[in-house]
Amino acid sequence: MPNPAQITCVEDFRILAKRRVPRMFYDYADSGSWTEGTYRANTADLQKLKFRQRVAVDIEKRTLRTTMIGVDVAMPVAIAPTGLTGMQHADGEILGARAAAAFGIPFTLSTMSICSIEDIAEHTRKPFWFQLYVMRDRDFIGGLIDRAKAANCSALVLTLDLQVLGQRHKDIKNGLSTPPKPTLANLVNLVTKPRWCMGMLGTRRRTFGNIVGHAKGVKDLSSLSTWTAEQFDPRLSWDDIAWIKKRWGGKLVVKGIMDAADARLAVDCGADALIVSNHGGRQLDGAPSSISALPAIAHAAGKDIEIWMDGGIRSGQDVLRAVAMGAQGTMIGRAFLYALGAMGEAGVLRCLQMIANELDISMAFCGHTDIRKIDRSVLVNGSIFDTHAA
């Protein structure tokens, strides 16, 4: 078992997770749609932004603390909602929520999680955020919202870019379905993952806890497959968001904004924050990277709404780049999943510590001491993605 302190970057976690997590679930996390061009662009475009190093500046007292929709956070990072997290590691959502709470950042639970809303509430005793997919069954959606309220969730994150499912070639080739297909290749691969198998044998949480037993007619994994195929609602509109906001009554975040016009609609619908996100490159391949879309969206939205970003963030330097380009907060998905799959709760905590350390040191090299005061002045080429009118 590696010592968490010897892990020095997210790539170390990725390599270890690839060894420990069954191929179908590792590939589910580490893949994009079609050619994976947008998936790769998310990371590549972040690396194009170069820092402006400053010297002989007093950088002794530094702080990464800020707020995200009024929540005090240890750094401008939250854990993004990720489906099937509990298949990267047994009880993965519980472990991720615990690590996030211990570090002092928000955790977001996906509708398509393995552990349920109630599981997270029971095992963390800290407020968390819940991510909602809009299904055709509005009674089920209303029930999810009510369950999130009862669990003391402090924000609802509404994902808007999954009305239809992007074609993910690795998932098709691996037979990843609901439930997963027990192909010979998958069974052989499972034999090589004894740690993962033992963890799964030790937990009762091996299905979609927010859906099975709650949605009409869904009593087990076999009935879940048909329900899921029919339920993602292609009719979703901004009018539905008004109904959801009224039913929820609390802080609302909309996720999946990639266009300036949609940013203004997010403002008009009364959302408290929007997330610039292309679903990690897992939906529309050929879409811009999140970081390249950020400036135009920030320009269009102005100061009427908080702007966050996800997609491609693998380090504290990436967080600094996103903040410099106009994001008040960021979310991490794959970095979190790699750490979880590699080393469980200890891995997630170590991942957050690494990101914070990288963010702190990089901010210092740029001559700044307060993350809340970061702007494009820390970059030498901060205008490379500008497409909006001055």
131 is in an annotated binding site: yes
Q: What are the start-end ranges of the E strands in 153-277? A: 155-159, 251-257, 273-276
79 is in an annotated binding site: no
- Active-site residue set: 279
116 is in an annotated binding site: no
What percent of the residues of the chain are helix, what percent strand, and what percent coil, each to the nearest 5?
45, 10, 40
- Return phi, psi of residue 255, to 5°: -120, 140
279 is in an annotated binding site: yes
- Return phi, psi of residue 232, to 5°: -60, 125
62 is in an annotated binding site: no
Residue 227 falls in which region: left (phi positive, over 0), alpha (psi -120 to 50) or beta = alpha
82 is in an annotated binding site: yes
231 is in an annotated binding site: no
280 is in an annotated binding site: no
Question: Strand 129-132 vs strand 108-109: parallel, antiparallel, or unpaired?
Answer: parallel
83 is in an annotated binding site: yes
User: Which residues are CB-neighbours of 192 under 8 A, at least 6 positions away?
Assistant: none
Question: Strand 66-68 vs strand 71-73: parallel, antiparallel, or unpaired?
Answer: antiparallel
154 is in an annotated binding site: no
302 is in an annotated binding site: no
Please give the Cα distance from 120 to 103 (Å, whole number).
Answer: 16
- Quote the radius of gyration of the chain (alpha carbons, Å): 20
Please give the Cα distance from 30 to 43 (Å, whole number).
Answer: 13
40 is in an annotated binding site: no
- Report the SS3 class of residue 308: strand
Binding site members for glyoxylate: 28, 133, 168, 279, 282
Binding residues for FMN: 81-83, 110, 131, 159, 255, 277, 310-314, 333-334
Binding-site residue positions:
28, 81-83, 110, 131, 133, 159, 168, 255, 277, 279, 282, 310-314, 333-334
